[in-house]
Amino acid sequence: MRSCSFISIYIIVIIIIVTPLLIYHAQAQSQSQGIDSIIQLPRSGSSRTRTRTRSRRFLSIADFGARGDGFHNDTQAFLKVWEIACSLSGFINIVFPYQKTFLVTPIDIGGPCRSKITLRILGAIVAPRNPDVWHGLNKRKWIYFHGVNHLSVEGGGRIDGMGQEWWSRSCKINTTNPCLPAPTALTFHKCKSLKVRNLTVLNSQKMHIAFTSCMRVVASRLKVLAPASSPNTDGIHISATKGVEIRDSLIRTGDDCISIVRNSSRVWIRNISCGPGHGISIGSLGKSNVWEKIQNVIVDGAYLYNTDNGVRIKTWQGGSGFASKITFQNILMENVSNPIIIDQYYCDSRHPCKNQTSAVQVGNISFINIQGTSATEETIKFACSDASPCEGLYLENIFLRSYFGGNTRSYCWQAHGSAQGYVYPPVCFSTSSDLIRQNVLLEPNPAINSV
């Protein structure tokens, strides 16, 4: 009897202690139901498993009011989901679902964030078609990220700038129109440890992707597409950015496939298919008499076809600074105008540019293993400054014949350097005692012209 009584008392005590805990747990679970339906948290497993799973929470923009029909404005939903994701800790995924099209007007997305965010674009993000939507807003921006660290943008979807109406209003299409700014589709400003991969970005109003004042950037497996006639639609633009890798990407636009400008360094570009467009460009540099530098750039592995330029360095007269330690290597060209070019007299203006003595110093530039066909007779052009000649140019294993079967030639002005291996057409470097203009026209070579 005593034993049974003791057991009964023990059970009653357990009920008294445990029941309030169960009620409290049920209330807490009910209060957090709204969050848990969006943020997927683990329920069991080892501490390592719980940590790993907790770091992969997902927020769908559709749960924040986005319609995803391509007609209703989903900008506010984007801002809401970003605000929550930015405030949380750990690794957060913002998802733009499959088979949905999200209309987004100009948007400013800022950091810093507590979390490390992945923007997972599975469907599409599109811009308004009408440029008048930008009235009273910054016309240079559409989707603008700034001050965000450890951001990834990926997912296999597309970002469409709907730039056709912007192009038709451009002064480069209609010279009677004033030259006005137009938005860059995706701008990343002052971001660190950034990844942009596995996306299609197309029909931007102006530049497609810009990295400005960023550090540690990897852009890979991208398709950047716009008509050859679209004005100023650079594919990827790098400005004042350090530590950039761009690889395994297809770029077809109306301007530079990749452009690298002011104060950028440690840039590595590899396995790029480029064309149509204006090729891969360093610059322009030194506009409006400013000081700028570019250094430690490697382009290793590229296929350029039907482009206005191949690999190019361009500077304005009157600037200062330097472009140095730049290598272009392992490049195949097909029907490319100006395959290899350094132009220190660049002038993208409606009016002639005045002659000036100061210039950005260009030196220690290498061109190695470059082959293919040129759409113009002048396949190698080094037009360097009188006051600041190009120094330390190096060519090795160059073979550039005419796409149409004629002669090819090189042109040099104030260019100093050396060559090794087979170089065709032969380069026309100046020597220290011969700084006169050289324009070498080659005699026909049956062996070469028959290739």
Residues with a catalytic annotation lie at 278
Q: Kindly report the backbone phi and psi dihedral angles of residue 61, in degrees, each rounded to the nearest multiple of 5, phi listed first.
A: -65, -25
C-alpha–C-alpha distance, residues 142 and 115, integer Å: 24
SS3 379: strand
**Is the bond into 425 cis (omega within 30 degrees of 0)?**
yes
- C-alpha 416/C-alpha 432 separation (Å) is 8
Residue pointed to by tokens 């451009």: 170
AA letter at 130: N
Contact 273, 246 (CB under 8 A): no
439 burial type by CB count under 10 A (0-12 exposed, 13-18 middle, 19+ buried): exposed
Alpha-carbon span 187 to 217, nearest angstrom: 13
Extract the tokens encoding 130: 């009408």
Alpha-carbon distance of 414 to 431, in angstroms, equals: 9
Q: How many CB atoms lie within 10 A of CB 48?
A: 8
The residue whose two tokens read 């006169």 is 436
For the beta carbon of residue 419, count every other beta carbon within 10 angstroms.
Answer: 16
| Residue 392 to residue 429: CA distance in whole angstroms | 10
